[in-house]
Amino acid sequence: MKEYKNYIFDLYGTLVDICTNEHKPSLWKLMAEFYNVFGCRWSGKTLSDAFWKMDAEEREVARNKMGVDNPEIKLERVFGRLLFEVQGWDYEHNCSDTDNIAATRVKYTVSSYKCSMRIAGISVNDLRERYSTDKEEVLNIVTSSDWCVAVPNLFRVHSRKFIRPYANTISTLTKLKEQGKGIYLLSNAQRIFTMPEIEMTGLHLLFDKMYISSDCEIMKPQKEFMEKLLAEEKLDISETVMVGNELRSDVMVALRCGVDSIYLNTSSYTKNEINKEWKTLMKKENISGDYAPHIVMSGDIAEILNFD
């Protein structure tokens, strides 16, 4: 395998193995209970539905703003909106004869209630009242607060089953660093909970610079994302390689920037499956030529140290 001066790595599925489930009911039940402490009236299902709806809305806004096919959002905005854009919540109350009203089932619709909680030193009630006229100002207050650090990380911790570096990740990056190689991260991720995960694994000590899509408002395979890294770090593309586990993201962004790539088969695909996907991708992108990633079938990152 060719030796390079600079190595750009993807994170999830390349350097670390992670398993999450953002759709399990127990996660959304917990999140709804947390939001309801702050005067909301969510059920797990209505909160989940609203989250994915707002996520899609934010991505459409970002797409129009950035004028690209692959925009990225700051997920903090979604968590902030969920605090104020509370859907009507219907519930029934069993009344008895002693309630001085007829014994019947009375249905109420409540969007939120007064509470004593504060965010960034400001009453949630006051923030909620201001939201209808000063949405962006209120969102800025909330998304820059400690509250909006805790909530996404609560979400991540309870949706995450495990996270761990692959067996040879630390040793491989350490050897590259000892050899004086440039080591960079280019990750489609949300900084708000990706940085804690990087720090938990100790990987933050090994990178010369980290580029996270939520900071840049664009994501792989948008070539501008990698171009930003290449320009700011003044990297020569002939001396640089992208290492990742996704053909449509990692390999494609490298191809668009004229950078070599190494595909780590950490998902244990067969050669036929990989070749089929690559041919389909090349056809879809209308790309011709001899460009192809170097494929590490074992998925073992240590193989990138086997220089020719």
| Claim to verify: residue 134 and residue 199 sit in the same structural domain | no
pLDDT at 112: 66
Indicate the pLDDT class of residue 113, thresholds 50, 70 and 90. confident
CB 84 within 8 A of CB 124: no
In angstroms, rounded to a whole number, what is the distance separating the alpha carbons of residues 259 and 255? 6
In angstroms, rounded to a whole number, what is the distance separating the alpha carbons of residues 210 and 119? 30
| Claim to verify: residue 209 and residue 126 sit in the same structural domain | no
| Claim to verify: residue 130 and residue 169 sit in the same structural domain | no
Range of the domain at 73: 25-158
Q: Residue 255: exposed, middle, or buried by beta-carbon count in 10 A (0-12, 13-18, 19+)?
A: buried
| Whole-number average pLDDT of the chain | 91
Q: Residue 289: exposed, middle, or buried by beta-carbon count in 10 A (0-12, 13-18, 19+)?
A: exposed
CB 193 within 8 A of CB 12: no
| Claim to verify: residue 166 and residue 72 sit in the same structural domain | no
| 15-50 confidence digits (pLDDT tens) | 999 999 999 999 999 999 999 999 999 999 999 999
| 54-63 confidence digits (pLDDT tens) | 999 999 999 9
| Claim to verify: residue 45 and residue 180 sit in the same structural domain | no
The number of CA neighbours under 13 Å toward the Cβ of 92 is 4
Total domains present in the chain? 2
Last residue of a domain, one of 141, 158, 175: 158
- Asked, for residue 1, whether it belongs to a domain, the answer is no
Average of per-residue pLDDT across 141-162: 98
pTM reported for the whole predicted model: 0.90
Indicate the pLDDT class of residue 87, thresholds 50, 70 and 90. low
Instruction: Provide the 3-class DSSP secondary structure of residue 209.
Output: strand
| Claim to verify: residue 225 and residue 291 sit in the same structural domain | yes
pLDDT at 132: 87
pLDDT at 101: 36
Task: Give me the sheet containing 6-9, strands edge to edge.
Answer: 209-212, 182-187, 6-9, 240-244, 260-264, 294-296
| Claim to verify: residue 41 and residue 153 sit in the same structural domain | yes
| Claim to verify: residue 183 and residue 142 sit in the same structural domain | no
Token pair 């104020």 in the structure block, residue = 84
Rg (CA), the chain: 24
| Claim to verify: residue 104 and residue 82 sit in the same structural domain | yes
* CATH number for position 11: 3.40.50.1000
Last residue of a domain, one of 158, 184, 209: 158
Q: Is the pLDDT of residue 103 over 50?
A: no
pLDDT at 95: 38
DSSP secondary structure letters along 220-279: TT-HHHHHHHHHHTT--GGGEEEEES-IIIIIHHHHHHT-EEEEE-TT---HHHHHHHHH
| Claim to verify: residue 169 and residue 225 sit in the same structural domain | yes
pLDDT at 222: 97
pLDDT at 256: 94
Indicate the pLDDT class of residue 94, thresholds 50, 70 and 90. very low
pLDDT at 286: 83
Token pair 């489930």 in the structure block, residue = 21
pLDDT at 284: 85
In angstroms, rounded to a whole number, what is the distance separating the alpha carbons of residues 20 and 22? 6
